[in-house]
Amino acid sequence: MTEFPRPVRRSRRATGAAVVLALLAPLLAACGGIPYSGDVVTGSEVSQQDPGGTEYIVEGPAEGATAEEILRGFIAAFKSSGDYDVARQFLSSSFLDDWDPRESVLVHNGGSSIVPVSDTALDYVVTSATASVDSAGTYRQFAPAPATLHYEFVQEDGEWRISAAPGGIVLSQSSFENVFSENVLYFLDTGGAALVPDLRWFPAGTGVATRVVSALLAGPPPWLQGAATSSFPAGTQLSSPKRVAIDGTTAYVDLTSEALEASPLQRQRMRLQIESSLGLITSTVISVDGTELSIPDPGPGLPQPQLPVDNRPLILHDGSFGYYANGQISLIDGLSEQVAALAPDAATLASGGSAIAVLNAEGVWVVRREGDPALLDARAGLIAPTLDIYGYTWSVPAGSPTALRAFAFDGTAYDVTTALPPDARVAAIEVSRDGARLAILLATPAGPRLMVSAIMRDVNASNAPLGLGVPVVDASLDSGTAVDLAWMDETTVVTLSESGDDTLVLAHQVGGRRESLGSPDSGVQIVGGNGETGLRVLGEDGVVAARRPSGWQTTQITAEFIATQR
């Protein structure tokens, strides 16, 4: 049995936060002098532009190499897979055990150079650092800024070696995309009803499965704590650092004795988390210190994978509300006529089609198959509502971002504690389909701002929302006007904004990067579906545009609005 290399899934989207980054290591005394010729100025440009899909072959230090050549070789070796064995060959014997390549990754997109500092020191300078990845695989993007990494050198047996260096590695953006892979870890929401994704980045190739399972055992990241949980008993670890093996589509995971404390349901969920997080795995054998753990067959208490929504747009067209296809509207039994009778301006269909949250001139309503529509929120200036998996309707006035509320079907209101800026206006809100995260698009004096936060719930009171956690995404968009947002998939939020006559759609990967998805002719609303090709934008003229591989394509569909499907 061997480690199974997880398939590389490219990151394409981003968040932004202003950061000025400088990485320095302690200066260590060393003997000898670094030979240079010419003026003591910046060294030659270090090219890091690599074609996509390249498999790198790196070499160790050459005999008689200068310190600058040693540094170049060391940085080039960061692109190799494995445990950075080649990179370690450039280190001095006294520093070999002190350098931790997995401490962090600094990602840059621009030029780089080597600058002499002293007879035994060099700086590696990048002009535009744009992101970092921490030891847990968490990606953070920030505003481009220069960064300096400091290296010290000594001579051993007449050869230059690195005696001090920052922890972690540095990669160009193109190299990062080739060397690292996206890995979606799955935790459970606090109510146990859904799998909650968390995007991580690990070096591709052998060892990925072990890193994925190790990250699962560490539990939810700080930003998800209180909104997500893990089924593994506290203290559970791999029985040894590499005790995850893959044979075909079966994973074999050996854990420490703490795993024996798990109940039968917990054991089912442990297996579910592993199989969901490892992607291509269809079965898992979990053992404890070599003895297979008894796990019941999956039962009805397990969270189900998120099912795709209907590919047909759900629209209001000429007074009829339903799914549009081939020039006709297909009504939803028990719901469509009630919704249309409210003269709606926006709507969100609950998962399973059991209820619809509706905005009209009077406020926010909930429409269910049984009973009459109920007015939940009659405050002035409300925006389009959103629904979550526990049946709560979320509503907020555009001009009062701190007045966010969630309403149960019976009308009970819960104030949701937030740290939203009071001087902003809310353009749009949407709960993720797993119910654990809320995306908010704000219009602020500085321009549009996207925030994504975990939802804290009261597990003792029907999972009622209590508040929002610290944002995992807090990104300022380019100048313009905030219009709308939607969840494109489980890890990506798309925003719609306007700047002059231009409409811009941006995709923001939660735990990844940002990418432009082009400019529809005009846009007043965006809704998600099943991935990127399920996106639709409603134009000012009422015409619906659909996302296609070649860009935005105008359809023959006209609508007053497009409803969100959960």
Secondary structure (DSSP) of 2-14: BPPPPPP-----B
The lowest-confidence range among 73-82, 85-94, 424-433 is 73-82
* Residue 10 CA from chain centroid, whole number: 12
Confidence of residue 249 (pLDDT cuts 50, 70, 90): very high
Confidence of residue 41 (pLDDT cuts 50, 70, 90): very low
State the Cα–Cα distance between residues 75 and 46, nearest whole angstrom.
10
Average pLDDT over residues 421-450: 96
Q: How many CB atoms lie within 10 A of CB 303?
A: 20
Pick from 506, 492, 453, 486: which is nearest to 563 by CA?
A: 486
Helix spans in 398-437 (H) = none
pLDDT at 218 over 60: yes
514-516 and 525-527 as β-strands: parallel, antiparallel, unpaired? unpaired
Tokens of 181: 């892979």
Confidence of residue 81 (pLDDT cuts 50, 70, 90): low
State the Cα–Cα distance between residues 438 and 453, nearest whole angstrom.
6
State the Cα–Cα distance between residues 81 and 211, nearest whole angstrom.
14
To the nearest 5 percent, what fractions of the chain are helix, strand and coil?
15, 40, 45
Tell me the percentage of the chain whose pLDDT exceeds 70: 90
Give the N- to C-terminal CA distance of the chain in Å, as an integer: 41
**pLDDT confidence of residue 205:** 78
State the Cα–Cα distance between residues 391 and 413, nearest whole angstrom.
12
User: What average pLDDT does the chain have?
Assistant: 89
pLDDT at 244 over 50: yes
pLDDT at 516 over 70: yes
**pLDDT confidence of residue 317:** 96
> What is the tens place of the pLDDT at every residue in 151-205?
999 999 999 999 999 999 999 999 999 999 999 999 999 999 999 999 999 998 7
pLDDT at 10 over 80: no
Pick from 511, 513, 446: which is nearest to 478 by CA?
A: 446
Look at 82 and 280; give whichever has higher pLDDT.
Answer: 280
Average pLDDT over residues 509-533: 94
Confidence of residue 280 (pLDDT cuts 50, 70, 90): confident
What strands, in cross-sheet order, belong to the sheet with 514-516?
481-489, 492-499, 502-509, 514-516
Confidence of residue 53 (pLDDT cuts 50, 70, 90): very low
**pLDDT confidence of residue 58:** 86
**pLDDT confidence of residue 9:** 36
DSSP 3-state assignment of 502?
A: strand
Average pLDDT over residues 146-154: 98
Tell me the percentage of the chain whose pLDDT exceeds 90: 80
**pLDDT confidence of residue 204:** 86
State the Cα–Cα distance between residues 491 and 144, nearest whole angstrom.
23
State the Cα–Cα distance between residues 298 and 305, nearest whole angstrom.
13
Single-letter amino acid code for the residue at 387: L
**pLDDT confidence of residue 318:** 94
pLDDT at 27 over 80: no
Name the region of 157 (left: φ>0; alpha: ψ -120 to 50; beta: rest). Answer: left
pLDDT at 545 over 80: yes
Domains in the chain: boundaries: 1-179, 180-292, 314-565
Class at the top of the CATH hierarchy for domain 314-565: mainly beta
The lowest-confidence range among 74-78, 92-96, 206-210, 229-233 is 206-210
**pLDDT confidence of residue 51:** 36
pLDDT at 510 over 90: yes
Average pLDDT over residues 293-312: 87
State the Cα–Cα distance between residues 193 and 431, nearest whole angstrom.
15
**pLDDT confidence of residue 56:** 67
122, exposed or middle or buried, with CB in 10 Å at 0-12, 13-18, 19+? buried
> What is the tens place of the pLDDT at every residue in 373-408?
999 999 999 999 999 999 999 999 999 999 999 999
- Written as one string, the DSSP assignment of 256-305 is -GGGGG--HHHHHHHHHHHHHHHSS--EEEEEETTEEPP-PPP-TTSPPP
The per-residue b/e assignment along 400-437, b for 16 or more CB within 10 angstroms, e otherwise, is bbbbbbbbbeeeeebebebebeeebbbbbbbbbbbbbb
> What is the tens place of the pLDDT at every residue in 345-378?
999 999 889 999 999 999 999 999 988 999 999 9
pTM value is: 0.87
**pLDDT confidence of residue 55:** 56
**pLDDT confidence of residue 31:** 37
121-134 and 139-156 as β-strands: parallel, antiparallel, unpaired? antiparallel
Confidence of residue 25 (pLDDT cuts 50, 70, 90): very low
CA gyration radius, the chain? 27
